């Protein structure tokens, strides 16, 4: 809203914690929680994409888990862009968190909703395994891995993951 010289946002308070906080506190999500989380994030991203919005920074820190319901909410659309405005970001400037960016983000290429789905895959991988598919000491190392190294299959780390969920996450993490 805007009142005179004051511009402000009004947002609902979410009693809960981030996905990062949840995994650090209690370990990786079980299969049921992981499936529900991925589905709810995917629904939120689908809604944004249907309205021409690309999040560009999907990550565990930007997923809130509501305490009472366990509902997952996607937050922090701070660097989101409308699909027709993406050319406003200089190609040489990588936007997003290096540990979670898509290969096309790492390469400074044009983005669409598939970029968010890749980051959803990284987030889901973290939710189920408690680790990220790629580790590195620098942003450059992480970006290079997103561009060139296949992500390990979720089932190789979490053998009890439901096959359909593991396949969906692995598919999100495909380079192409």
CB burial of 98-116 (b: ≥16 within 10 Å; e: otherwise) equals bbbbbbbbbeeeebebbbb
Dist. CA 86–CA 69, nearest whole Å: 35
* Bridge partners (DSSP) listed for residue 72: 65
**Residue found under tokens 């780390």:** 157
Locate 79 and state its tokens: 């660097």
Dist. CA 89–CA 95, nearest whole Å: 8
Q: Are 41 and 123 in contact (CB under 8 A)?
A: yes
| Catalytic site positions | 57
Dist. CA 104–CA 143, nearest whole Å: 10
C-alpha of 75 from chain center: 10
């Amino acid at each position: 809203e805007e009142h005179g010289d004051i511009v402000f946002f009004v947002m609902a308070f979410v009693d809960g914690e981030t996905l990062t906080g949840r995994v650090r506190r209690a370990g990786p999500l079980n299969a049921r929680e992981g499936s529900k989380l991925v589905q709810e994030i995917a629904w939120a991203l689908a809604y944004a994409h249907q309205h021409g919005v690309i999040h560009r920074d999907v990550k565990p820190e930007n997923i809130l888990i509501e305490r009472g319901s366990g509902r997952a909410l996607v937050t922090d659309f701070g660097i989101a862009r409308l699909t027709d405005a993406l050319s406003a970001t200089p190609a040489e400037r990588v936007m997003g968190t290096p540990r979670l960016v898509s290969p096309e983000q790492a390469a400074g290429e044009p983005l669409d909703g598939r970029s968010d789905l890749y980051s959803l895959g990284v987030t889901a991988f973290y939710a189920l395994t408690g680790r990220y598919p790629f580790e590195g000491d620098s942003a450059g190392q992480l970006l290079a891995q997103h561009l060139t190294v296949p992500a390990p299959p979720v089932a190789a780390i979490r053998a009890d993951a439901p096959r359909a969920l593991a396949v969906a996450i692995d598919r999100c993490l495909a380079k192409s």
